[in-house]
Structures are given as C-alpha cells and as structure tokens.
Amino acid sequence: MTDRFPTGLDSTYRLNQGIEIPCFGLGVFQMGPGAETERAVRWALESEYRMIDTATLYKNEADVGNGVRASEFERSDVFVTTKLWHTDHGYESSQRACRESLQRLGFDYVDLYLIHWPRAPTPADRLASWRGLVKLQKEGLCRAIGVSNYSVRHLQELLADSEVVPAVNQVEFHPFVYDPELLTFCGDHGIRLEAYSPITRGRRLDDPTVGGIARARKRSPAQVLLRWGIQHGIVEIPKSIHQERIIENAQVFDFELGPNEMSALDGLAGGARVGAGNPAEIP
C-alpha cells in the first residue's frame, strides 16, 4: 500500500473553504424515517464512520439528528451534510430552507450545505441560491457550502458569478458513469468530488469486470467499486440499512487496485445512470 491514498475512516481531505471532510461516510437516501435511519446512523458511528449525508428531500433529517445525539460522540465529532431542494431555489428561500433543515436536525449548524440540483426556474435563480448559501456560511450556519449534480457547464456559470468556489460537488460517480472531464475540472478548481450511489444501488454488482476483480482480490464487488473511487480521490458515501454491509463497505483501506484493474474499471464508462437523470441536460 502506498501512502498517497486515504488509509482509514479517520482520513480526511482539506476542503478549499478550510475545513476537513472525512473521505468516507454513510448516505441515507431512501432510508425509512424513524428507527430505520436512526439505527443505520448509530451502526455507522459505532463502526467508526464520522460522516452522515442527508437532504431535505430524504425526509429523514430529524432521524439523522436523533441518531447523532443518541451516539457517544459530540456533535463536533460527526460531519453532517444536508441539501437545498430545487423547489427552494432563490436568495431568501435558500436561507429559510437551511434554517428549517437545522431545526429538523436539531443542530446549530451543518458541516456542509449543498444545492441539491441545478434545476431552477432560471439560471439566475440558482445563482441567487448560491449567494444565499454564501450568506449562511458567513452567519456560521454552514461550515462549508457546495453543490450537487453540477456539470462542468453549471460550475463554470457559478464560478463566473461568484468568488466563492464550491467546496464540494456531489454527483453520481462510479465506473459506469466515470466522467474524467468533470473530475479534472473539479480538481483544477479545488472542488472535491463526492460520489453518491458509488455502488450503483446494487444494480451493477454482477458486472463481469467488477466481479472478476472482486474474485481475484477476494473482495465483494461493492468493495471494488468503492476502492476505485477512493483511488480517484473521491469522497464515498455508500448507503446501507444493514449493519453487516455498513461494516463491510468500509473495509476498503487495506488493499489497493493495480493500474490495469483501474484502467479496466475506467473502461466501463458510458453505462446507464441509476440516479434521477443526467445533470448535463439541465439548462
């Protein structure tokens, strides 16, 4: 193993806005409200995860907050992300929406607040949302701010309008939707790429290339996909409601994929997305 990749769940990346983000966390998309989400959060924190990713859309912010409070950890020990839904675009409405998320979470601040999608009535509305997030950060309600599902074009639009560069761009990212142009653009501008659905919501785990590497490495297909992302410098946030899989997903820091394996996985690009459409098609 080299030391150029994260070495464990305690590994972090320093964001361009001056805070550290864990390299790996738990996503809670499509988790049921109440006990299901609270259990998953508790299991993840017990397994040394230190990041939980939620959103207004997921309708489980309150359960994430409860799960963090029920753990043995201080609020400051857990990195929590939530997101602005596209129906709340705008300068004033984005600020109101963030405060409502904080109320549901039961927190005084969120570590990372993202614009969930660039879908908005007009490009001016999403730019106004970003200005709203900048104000929220200045007020201390968000330690860092960023975007989600932004294409290179959307990022260029934002950067042309604001001096504040997003800390994170969270997108669907795995070998089947590998986008080296986006990865390079984000890297060149100091934006950390973060992957949702990094294990394809389980839909491509039977792929022959992934399976062959998994068998050769004596690893699960999910672990191979997650390790691929780690070696591309991507923050990974796989979702699971099963304790054993939450633990298994994080066991990706004690092996390394070779150049030929990485190239083979890169070559799977062009597959179908598992998320809600292609962001590049949003005006």
Over the range 62-83, which residues count as b (16 or more CB within 10 Å of their CB) and which as e? bbbbbbbeebeeebeebbbbbb
Domain annotation covers residue 210: no
One digit per residue, the tens of pLDDT, for the chain of length 283 reads 445 899 999 999 999 999 999 999 999 999 999 999 999 999 999 999 999 999 999 999 999 999 999 999 999 999 999 999 999 999 999 999 999 999 999 999 999 999 999 999 999 999 999 999 999 999 999 999 999 999 999 999 999 999 999 999 999 999 999 999 999 999 999 999 999 999 999 999 999 999 999 999 999 999 999 999 999 999 999 999 999 999 999 999 999 999 999 999 999 998 889 888 899 899 9
Domain annotation covers residue 263: no
Dihedral sign of CA atoms 97, 100, 105, 109 in order: positive
Query: Domain holding 168: CATH number?
Result: 3.20.20.100
pLDDT value at residue 3: 59
CA of residue 82 relative to chain centroid, distance: 10
Domain annotation covers residue 224: no
Domain annotation covers residue 190: yes
Active site residue 58: yes
- Residue range of the domain that includes 134: 12-205+232-245
pLDDT value at residue 271: 83
What would the two tokens of residue 91 be?
A: 């300068």
Domain annotation covers residue 259: no
Domain annotation covers residue 20: yes
DSSP 147-206: EES--HHHHHHHHHH-SS--SEEEEE-SGGG--HHHHHHHHHTTPEEEEESTTGGGTTTT
Domain annotation covers residue 106: yes
For the chain, the domain total comes to: 1
- Which of the residues 49, 58, 113, 150 is marked catalytic? 58
d(CA 197, CA 245): 15
